[in-house]
Amino acid sequence: MGIGLNQSIFMYLVVIAWLYVVLMMSVAEATNSTGTVLGALVTFILYGMLPISIVVYLMRAPARNKAIKARAAAEHAQNQALALKIQAEPNKSAQGADYKK
């Protein structure tokens, strides 16, 4: 678990560093005498947000798959426990115990 946590922290550290670099590129674009704010926004989105969102999505895929499998295993165990509980209880309605007048 510790190794996965370190990898996750490293991934987010790289993401933050890259966004900082792209932010500085955007500021340089906006403050340049021939630059525009629109150019800065396009730079930030195309060099920063779009690639980072794709990379983070791909890097988190194993964690998502692990969570899906864990959720499915927990649901399967819960269904098995419920089935065992139902089998363990005698069928009271067939014996007439729940019949009320």
Distance from the Cα of residue 38 to its chain's centroid: 31
| 16 phi and psi angles, rounded to 5 deg | -65, -40
Contact 18, 48 (CB under 8 A): yes
Give the count of beta carbons closer than 10 Å to the beta carbon of residue 48: 19
Domain boundaries, the chain: 2-87
The three-class DSSP label of residue 8 is: helix
Tokens of 73: 């295993």
Mean pLDDT of the chain: 84
Please give the structure tokens belonging to residue 66. Answer: 């692990």
In this predicted model, what pLDDT tens digit does every residue of 2-41 receive, in sequence order? 556 677 788 889 899 999 999 999 999 999 999 999 999 9
pTM, two decimal places: 0.62
